[in-house]
A and B are shown apart, each in its own frame.
Chain A
Amino acid sequence: MSRVSTYIDNMTDATDLAERAGDRDPRIGLRAVAALRRLLEQLEAVQVRSARNQGWSWQEIAAELGVSRQAVHKKYGRR
Protein backbone atom coordinates (compact mmCIF):
# COMPACT_ATOMS: atom_id res chain seq x y z
CA MET A 1 0.00 0.00 0.00
CA SER A 2 2.64 2.48 1.06
CA ARG A 3 4.86 1.33 -1.79
CA VAL A 4 2.06 2.09 -4.22
CA SER A 5 1.54 5.57 -2.83
CA THR A 6 5.29 6.27 -2.94
CA TYR A 7 5.30 5.15 -6.53
CA ILE A 8 2.40 7.45 -7.33
CA ASP A 9 4.10 10.34 -5.52
CA ASN A 10 7.28 9.82 -7.51
CA MET A 11 5.31 9.68 -10.69
CA THR A 12 3.51 12.92 -9.84
CA ASP A 13 6.84 14.61 -9.06
CA ALA A 14 8.26 13.46 -12.37
CA THR A 15 5.21 14.75 -14.23
CA ASP A 16 5.44 18.09 -12.42
CA LEU A 17 9.07 18.42 -13.34
CA ALA A 18 8.44 17.53 -16.94
CA GLU A 19 5.70 20.13 -17.10
CA ARG A 20 7.88 22.75 -15.51
CA ALA A 21 10.82 22.08 -17.77
CA GLY A 22 9.09 23.29 -20.88
CA ASP A 23 7.32 25.92 -19.01
CA ARG A 24 4.30 27.58 -20.42
CA ASP A 25 2.89 28.42 -17.00
CA PRO A 26 3.22 32.22 -16.74
CA ARG A 27 3.49 32.00 -12.95
CA ILE A 28 6.90 30.33 -13.12
CA GLY A 29 8.28 32.99 -15.44
CA LEU A 30 6.74 35.87 -13.51
CA ARG A 31 8.10 34.58 -10.22
CA ALA A 32 11.54 34.29 -11.74
CA VAL A 33 11.32 37.90 -12.90
CA ALA A 34 10.19 39.07 -9.46
CA ALA A 35 13.06 37.16 -7.83
CA LEU A 36 15.49 38.62 -10.32
CA ARG A 37 14.26 42.12 -9.50
CA ARG A 38 14.87 41.49 -5.81
CA LEU A 39 18.34 40.19 -6.50
CA LEU A 40 18.98 43.23 -8.69
CA GLU A 41 17.88 45.59 -5.91
CA GLN A 42 20.26 43.92 -3.47
CA LEU A 43 23.16 44.07 -5.90
CA GLU A 44 22.46 47.70 -6.73
CA ALA A 45 22.42 48.63 -3.05
CA VAL A 46 25.77 46.89 -2.49
CA GLN A 47 27.38 48.64 -5.46
CA VAL A 48 25.97 52.09 -4.70
CA ARG A 49 27.09 51.84 -1.09
CA SER A 50 30.53 50.77 -2.19
CA ALA A 51 30.81 53.65 -4.68
CA ARG A 52 29.72 56.17 -2.05
CA ASN A 53 32.27 54.77 0.39
CA GLN A 54 34.92 55.34 -2.26
CA GLY A 55 33.84 58.94 -2.60
CA TRP A 56 31.83 58.77 -5.81
CA SER A 57 29.29 61.54 -6.39
CA TRP A 58 25.61 60.77 -6.99
CA GLN A 59 26.12 62.11 -10.50
CA GLU A 60 28.87 59.64 -11.25
CA ILE A 61 26.91 56.72 -9.84
CA ALA A 62 23.80 57.72 -11.78
CA ALA A 63 25.77 57.96 -15.01
CA GLU A 64 27.09 54.40 -14.61
CA LEU A 65 23.64 53.06 -13.75
CA GLY A 66 22.07 54.91 -16.63
CA VAL A 67 19.52 56.74 -14.50
CA SER A 68 19.06 60.32 -13.32
CA ARG A 69 21.02 61.72 -10.41
CA GLN A 70 17.74 62.49 -8.65
CA ALA A 71 16.60 58.89 -8.95
CA VAL A 72 19.71 57.50 -7.28
CA HIS A 73 19.77 60.15 -4.60
CA LYS A 74 16.11 59.70 -3.78
CA LYS A 75 16.61 55.98 -3.44
CA TYR A 76 19.88 55.88 -1.54
CA GLY A 77 20.45 59.39 -0.21
CA ARG A 78 20.40 60.20 3.48
CA ARG A 79 21.57 56.81 4.55
Chain B
Amino acid sequence: MTDSSQQKQDQTRRTVLAVDNLQTRFMSRGPALKAVDGVSFSIGEGETVALVGESGCGKSVTAQSLLRLISPPGQIVGGHIYLEGDDLMTRSQSEIEDIRGNRAAMIFQEPLTALNPIMTVEKQLAEVLHRHHPQRRKEARAQVLDMLQKVGIPDPEGRLRAYPHQLSGGMRQRVMIAMALLSNPRLLIADEPTTALDVTIQAQILELMRNLCSQMGTALLLITHDLGVVAEMADRVIVMYAGRVVEEAPVRTLFAQPAHPYTRGLIQSTPNLATHQGQLVAIPGLVPTLADLGDVQGCKFAPRCSMATDKCRSEDPPLQTLGPDRAARCWYADEVMQTVSAQA
Protein backbone atom coordinates (compact mmCIF):
# COMPACT_ATOMS: atom_id res chain seq x y z
CA MET B 1 0.00 0.00 0.00
CA THR B 2 1.51 3.33 -0.98
CA ASP B 3 1.47 6.30 1.29
CA SER B 4 -0.99 8.30 -0.77
CA SER B 5 -3.60 5.55 -0.90
CA GLN B 6 -3.03 5.00 2.79
CA GLN B 7 -3.71 8.62 3.51
CA LYS B 8 -6.88 8.64 1.48
CA GLN B 9 -8.12 5.71 3.43
CA ASP B 10 -7.28 7.42 6.68
CA GLN B 11 -9.47 10.35 5.82
CA THR B 12 -12.49 8.17 5.24
CA ARG B 13 -11.93 6.23 8.47
CA ARG B 14 -14.02 7.05 11.45
CA THR B 15 -11.98 8.27 14.38
CA VAL B 16 -12.15 5.84 17.28
CA LEU B 17 -9.82 7.49 19.73
CA ALA B 18 -8.82 11.12 19.89
CA VAL B 19 -6.47 12.28 22.62
CA ASP B 20 -6.16 15.98 23.13
CA ASN B 21 -3.42 17.56 25.21
CA LEU B 22 -3.28 14.71 27.74
CA GLN B 23 -1.32 15.53 30.88
CA THR B 24 -0.50 12.95 33.49
CA ARG B 25 1.61 13.81 36.48
CA PHE B 26 3.08 11.97 39.39
CA MET B 27 2.81 13.89 42.58
CA SER B 28 6.02 13.77 44.56
CA ARG B 29 7.47 15.59 47.48
CA GLY B 30 9.12 18.04 45.13
CA PRO B 31 7.48 19.44 42.02
CA ALA B 32 4.98 17.18 40.25
CA LEU B 33 6.65 14.96 37.65
CA LYS B 34 5.23 15.39 34.17
CA ALA B 35 5.14 11.81 32.88
CA VAL B 36 2.82 12.72 30.01
CA ASP B 37 3.06 16.32 28.98
CA GLY B 38 0.48 17.45 26.46
CA VAL B 39 0.17 14.41 24.22
CA SER B 40 -2.35 14.53 21.37
CA PHE B 41 -3.08 11.97 18.71
CA SER B 42 -5.92 10.04 17.16
CA ILE B 43 -6.58 6.57 15.82
CA GLY B 44 -9.11 5.61 13.17
CA GLU B 45 -11.21 2.50 12.83
CA GLY B 46 -9.12 -0.55 11.95
CA GLU B 47 -5.97 1.50 12.07
CA THR B 48 -2.79 0.47 13.87
CA VAL B 49 -0.82 3.23 15.48
CA ALA B 50 2.49 2.54 17.15
CA LEU B 51 3.63 4.53 20.13
CA VAL B 52 7.41 4.35 20.24
CA GLY B 53 10.12 5.50 22.55
CA GLU B 54 12.79 4.48 25.00
CA SER B 55 11.98 3.16 28.43
CA GLY B 56 10.74 5.94 30.63
CA CYS B 57 9.48 8.20 27.86
CA GLY B 58 5.87 7.96 28.99
CA LYS B 59 4.45 5.36 26.59
CA SER B 60 2.97 3.07 29.21
CA VAL B 61 1.68 5.92 31.34
CA THR B 62 -0.04 7.29 28.24
CA ALA B 63 -1.61 3.88 27.63
CA GLN B 64 -2.81 3.58 31.21
CA SER B 65 -4.13 7.12 31.17
CA LEU B 66 -6.33 6.31 28.19
CA LEU B 67 -8.41 3.91 30.31
CA ARG B 68 -7.88 6.08 33.37
CA LEU B 69 -5.98 3.26 35.02
CA ILE B 70 -3.54 5.65 36.63
CA SER B 71 -3.55 5.26 40.39
CA PRO B 72 -2.10 7.63 43.00
CA PRO B 73 0.40 9.20 43.22
CA GLY B 74 -0.23 9.43 39.47
CA GLN B 75 -2.98 11.72 38.30
CA ILE B 76 -4.38 12.90 35.00
CA VAL B 77 -4.37 16.65 35.40
CA GLY B 78 -5.54 17.85 32.03
CA GLY B 79 -6.64 17.08 28.51
CA HIS B 80 -9.41 15.10 26.91
CA ILE B 81 -9.73 11.51 25.80
CA TYR B 82 -12.47 10.98 23.27
CA LEU B 83 -13.55 7.40 22.61
CA GLU B 84 -15.89 7.52 19.63
CA GLY B 85 -16.69 11.09 20.57
CA ASP B 86 -17.36 10.48 24.29
CA ASP B 87 -15.04 12.39 26.56
CA LEU B 88 -13.78 9.81 29.05
CA MET B 89 -12.45 12.48 31.36
CA THR B 90 -15.96 13.61 32.22
CA ARG B 91 -17.19 10.09 32.96
CA SER B 92 -17.77 8.77 36.46
CA GLN B 93 -15.74 5.91 37.87
CA SER B 94 -18.51 3.37 37.25
CA GLU B 95 -19.07 4.59 33.69
CA ILE B 96 -15.36 4.17 33.05
CA GLU B 97 -15.53 0.64 34.44
CA ASP B 98 -18.35 -0.10 32.01
CA ILE B 99 -16.14 1.04 29.16
CA ARG B 100 -13.02 -0.87 30.20
CA GLY B 101 -12.88 -4.31 28.69
CA ASN B 102 -15.99 -3.53 26.71
CA ARG B 103 -15.46 -0.65 24.29
CA ALA B 104 -11.76 -0.37 25.00
CA ALA B 105 -9.53 -3.24 26.08
CA MET B 106 -5.92 -3.64 27.01
CA ILE B 107 -3.23 -6.30 26.67
CA PHE B 108 -0.26 -6.33 28.98
CA GLN B 109 3.40 -7.01 28.59
CA GLU B 110 3.74 -10.08 30.74
CA PRO B 111 1.29 -12.82 29.89
CA LEU B 112 2.82 -14.80 32.75
CA THR B 113 1.43 -12.54 35.41
CA ALA B 114 -1.50 -10.93 33.60
CA LEU B 115 -3.75 -13.93 34.22
CA ASN B 116 -5.04 -14.80 37.66
CA PRO B 117 -3.05 -17.91 38.62
CA ILE B 118 -5.97 -19.52 40.41
CA MET B 119 -8.67 -19.08 37.78
CA THR B 120 -9.22 -21.38 34.85
CA VAL B 121 -9.05 -20.02 31.33
CA GLU B 122 -12.80 -20.34 30.98
CA LYS B 123 -13.60 -18.45 34.19
CA GLN B 124 -11.16 -15.75 33.33
CA LEU B 125 -12.58 -15.19 29.89
CA ALA B 126 -16.19 -15.53 30.96
CA GLU B 127 -15.54 -12.83 33.55
CA VAL B 128 -15.46 -10.24 30.76
CA LEU B 129 -18.79 -11.41 29.37
CA HIS B 130 -20.43 -11.65 32.77
CA ARG B 131 -19.23 -8.18 33.61
CA HIS B 132 -20.43 -6.49 30.45
CA HIS B 133 -23.16 -8.75 29.10
CA PRO B 134 -24.76 -10.42 32.13
CA GLN B 135 -27.91 -11.17 30.17
CA ARG B 136 -25.94 -13.40 27.81
CA ARG B 137 -24.68 -15.71 30.53
CA LYS B 138 -25.83 -18.85 28.82
CA GLU B 139 -23.98 -18.15 25.61
CA ALA B 140 -20.78 -17.33 27.47
CA ARG B 141 -19.16 -20.72 27.02
CA ALA B 142 -19.90 -20.86 23.33
CA GLN B 143 -18.53 -17.36 22.87
CA VAL B 144 -15.41 -18.14 24.84
CA LEU B 145 -14.82 -21.28 22.77
CA ASP B 146 -15.36 -19.35 19.57
CA MET B 147 -12.87 -16.70 20.64
CA LEU B 148 -10.25 -19.25 21.71
CA GLN B 149 -10.58 -20.78 18.28
CA LYS B 150 -10.12 -17.39 16.64
CA VAL B 151 -6.90 -16.73 18.51
CA GLY B 152 -5.58 -20.07 17.34
CA ILE B 153 -5.52 -22.10 20.52
CA PRO B 154 -5.41 -25.78 19.68
CA ASP B 155 -7.97 -27.95 21.49
CA PRO B 156 -9.92 -25.01 22.96
CA GLU B 157 -12.39 -27.35 24.71
CA GLY B 158 -9.56 -28.94 26.65
CA ARG B 159 -7.96 -25.60 27.48
CA LEU B 160 -11.10 -24.25 29.11
CA ARG B 161 -10.25 -26.01 32.33
CA ALA B 162 -6.53 -25.23 32.19
CA TYR B 163 -4.89 -22.90 34.65
CA PRO B 164 -2.47 -20.24 33.40
CA HIS B 165 0.61 -22.11 34.62
CA GLN B 166 -0.32 -25.02 32.40
CA LEU B 167 -0.02 -22.87 29.27
CA SER B 168 3.08 -21.67 27.47
CA GLY B 169 3.91 -17.96 27.21
CA GLY B 170 2.58 -17.72 23.67
CA MET B 171 -0.64 -19.50 24.64
CA ARG B 172 -1.13 -17.20 27.59
CA GLN B 173 -0.73 -14.17 25.38
CA ARG B 174 -3.31 -15.66 23.01
CA VAL B 175 -5.64 -16.08 25.95
CA MET B 176 -5.02 -12.44 26.87
CA ILE B 177 -5.85 -11.40 23.32
CA ALA B 178 -8.99 -13.51 23.41
CA MET B 179 -9.95 -11.88 26.70
CA ALA B 180 -9.36 -8.41 25.28
CA LEU B 181 -11.30 -8.99 22.08
CA LEU B 182 -14.14 -10.97 23.62
CA SER B 183 -16.56 -8.10 23.88
CA ASN B 184 -15.57 -6.71 20.50
CA PRO B 185 -13.86 -3.51 21.64
CA ARG B 186 -13.49 -0.49 19.37
CA LEU B 187 -10.04 0.19 20.74
CA LEU B 188 -7.34 -2.25 21.75
CA ILE B 189 -4.32 -0.98 23.63
CA ALA B 190 -1.40 -3.39 23.56
CA ASP B 191 1.40 -2.43 25.94
CA GLU B 192 4.52 -4.19 24.66
CA PRO B 193 2.51 -7.34 23.99
CA THR B 194 5.39 -9.40 22.67
CA THR B 195 8.36 -8.20 24.69
CA ALA B 196 8.28 -11.20 26.99
CA LEU B 197 7.95 -13.74 24.17
CA ASP B 198 10.61 -15.28 21.99
CA VAL B 199 11.04 -14.04 18.46
CA THR B 200 9.16 -16.71 16.52
CA ILE B 201 6.19 -16.50 18.85
CA GLN B 202 6.36 -12.70 18.65
CA ALA B 203 5.75 -12.80 14.92
CA GLN B 204 2.78 -15.15 15.31
CA ILE B 205 1.19 -13.06 18.02
CA LEU B 206 1.63 -9.82 16.09
CA GLU B 207 0.20 -11.40 12.96
CA LEU B 208 -2.76 -12.64 14.98
CA MET B 209 -3.43 -9.25 16.52
CA ARG B 210 -3.22 -7.51 13.19
CA ASN B 211 -5.58 -9.97 11.51
CA LEU B 212 -8.16 -9.92 14.27
CA CYS B 213 -8.13 -6.15 14.59
CA SER B 214 -8.56 -5.60 10.89
CA GLN B 215 -11.35 -8.19 10.75
CA MET B 216 -13.19 -6.58 13.62
CA GLY B 217 -12.37 -3.01 12.66
CA THR B 218 -10.71 -2.48 16.01
CA ALA B 219 -8.34 0.43 16.36
CA LEU B 220 -5.02 -0.80 17.70
CA LEU B 221 -2.65 1.28 19.75
CA LEU B 222 0.58 -0.66 19.88
CA ILE B 223 3.12 0.41 22.45
CA THR B 224 6.60 -0.82 21.80
CA HIS B 225 10.25 0.07 21.76
CA ASP B 226 10.95 -2.39 18.97
CA LEU B 227 11.19 -0.64 15.61
CA GLY B 228 11.09 -4.00 13.85
CA VAL B 229 7.62 -4.54 15.28
CA VAL B 230 6.63 -1.04 14.25
CA ALA B 231 7.73 -1.54 10.65
CA GLU B 232 5.83 -4.81 10.55
CA MET B 233 2.58 -3.69 12.13
CA ALA B 234 1.88 -0.02 12.16
CA ASP B 235 0.07 2.28 9.79
CA ARG B 236 1.23 5.37 11.61
CA VAL B 237 3.88 5.98 14.21
CA ILE B 238 4.02 8.36 17.13
CA VAL B 239 7.45 8.86 18.66
CA MET B 240 7.55 9.97 22.25
CA TYR B 241 10.39 11.50 24.17
CA ALA B 242 10.27 12.73 27.75
CA GLY B 243 6.51 12.62 27.97
CA ARG B 244 5.86 14.42 24.71
CA VAL B 245 5.21 13.56 21.11
CA VAL B 246 8.35 14.47 19.17
CA GLU B 247 7.33 13.09 15.81
CA GLU B 248 4.29 11.66 14.10
CA ALA B 249 4.28 10.17 10.62
CA PRO B 250 2.99 7.32 8.47
CA VAL B 251 5.24 4.33 8.98
CA ARG B 252 7.00 4.35 5.62
CA THR B 253 7.68 8.05 5.70
CA LEU B 254 9.04 7.77 9.20
CA PHE B 255 11.56 5.12 8.28
CA ALA B 256 12.49 6.70 4.95
CA GLN B 257 12.71 10.27 6.13
CA PRO B 258 12.60 10.90 9.84
CA ALA B 259 12.13 14.54 10.71
CA HIS B 260 13.39 14.52 14.29
CA PRO B 261 16.98 13.78 15.29
CA TYR B 262 15.67 11.47 18.03
CA THR B 263 13.72 9.35 15.54
CA ARG B 264 16.76 9.24 13.31
CA GLY B 265 18.85 8.12 16.27
CA LEU B 266 16.36 5.36 17.08
CA ILE B 267 16.41 4.09 13.52
CA GLN B 268 20.19 4.24 13.30
CA SER B 269 20.55 2.31 16.50
CA THR B 270 18.52 -0.59 15.11
CA PRO B 271 20.50 -3.27 13.29
CA ASN B 272 19.54 -3.58 9.64
CA LEU B 273 21.04 -6.45 7.70
CA ALA B 274 19.65 -5.41 4.35
CA THR B 275 21.21 -1.99 3.95
CA HIS B 276 24.41 -1.64 5.83
CA GLN B 277 26.57 -3.64 8.13
CA GLY B 278 28.53 -0.86 9.70
CA GLN B 279 28.63 -0.08 13.36
CA LEU B 280 25.37 0.83 15.06
CA VAL B 281 25.03 4.40 16.16
CA ALA B 282 23.87 4.81 19.73
CA ILE B 283 22.12 7.93 20.95
CA PRO B 284 24.51 9.39 23.50
CA GLY B 285 23.27 9.90 27.01
CA LEU B 286 20.17 8.63 28.75
CA VAL B 287 16.53 9.57 28.80
CA PRO B 288 16.42 12.33 31.39
CA THR B 289 14.61 11.34 34.53
CA LEU B 290 11.35 13.13 35.09
CA ALA B 291 12.82 15.00 38.01
CA ASP B 292 15.64 16.40 35.83
CA LEU B 293 13.29 17.56 33.10
CA GLY B 294 12.18 20.64 34.95
CA ASP B 295 15.70 22.01 34.67
CA VAL B 296 15.97 21.54 30.91
CA GLN B 297 15.20 24.77 29.16
CA GLY B 298 14.47 24.65 25.49
CA CYS B 299 14.22 21.36 23.60
CA LYS B 300 14.17 18.38 25.98
CA PHE B 301 16.28 16.38 23.55
CA ALA B 302 18.92 19.08 23.06
CA PRO B 303 21.39 17.67 25.64
CA ARG B 304 21.63 14.46 23.62
CA CYS B 305 21.26 15.92 20.14
CA SER B 306 24.23 16.22 17.80
CA MET B 307 22.56 19.06 15.88
CA ALA B 308 21.61 21.13 18.89
CA THR B 309 22.26 24.86 18.61
CA ASP B 310 21.92 27.69 21.07
CA LYS B 311 18.36 28.19 19.87
CA CYS B 312 17.55 24.57 20.76
CA ARG B 313 18.98 25.02 24.22
CA SER B 314 17.03 28.17 24.98
CA GLU B 315 13.72 27.82 23.14
CA ASP B 316 11.41 24.83 23.30
CA PRO B 317 10.26 23.92 19.77
CA PRO B 318 6.52 23.40 19.18
CA LEU B 319 5.16 20.37 17.38
CA GLN B 320 5.20 21.66 13.78
CA THR B 321 3.06 20.29 11.04
CA LEU B 322 5.24 19.24 8.14
CA GLY B 323 2.57 17.96 5.80
CA PRO B 324 -0.56 15.84 5.88
CA ASP B 325 -0.21 13.41 8.77
CA ARG B 326 3.28 14.59 9.59
CA ALA B 327 4.60 16.59 12.47
CA ALA B 328 7.84 16.94 14.38
CA ARG B 329 8.99 18.84 17.41
CA CYS B 330 12.28 20.20 16.11
CA TRP B 331 13.48 23.62 14.94
CA TYR B 332 15.46 21.96 12.18
CA ALA B 333 13.01 19.32 10.99
CA ASP B 334 13.54 20.27 7.33
CA GLU B 335 17.30 19.91 7.63
CA VAL B 336 16.94 16.56 9.36
CA MET B 337 14.70 15.28 6.59
CA GLN B 338 17.13 16.49 3.93
CA THR B 339 20.21 14.98 5.50
CA VAL B 340 18.54 11.62 5.70
CA SER B 341 17.38 11.63 2.11
CA ALA B 342 20.88 12.73 1.07
CA GLN B 343 22.31 9.78 2.95
CA ALA B 344 19.89 7.42 1.30
B and A form one assembly: no
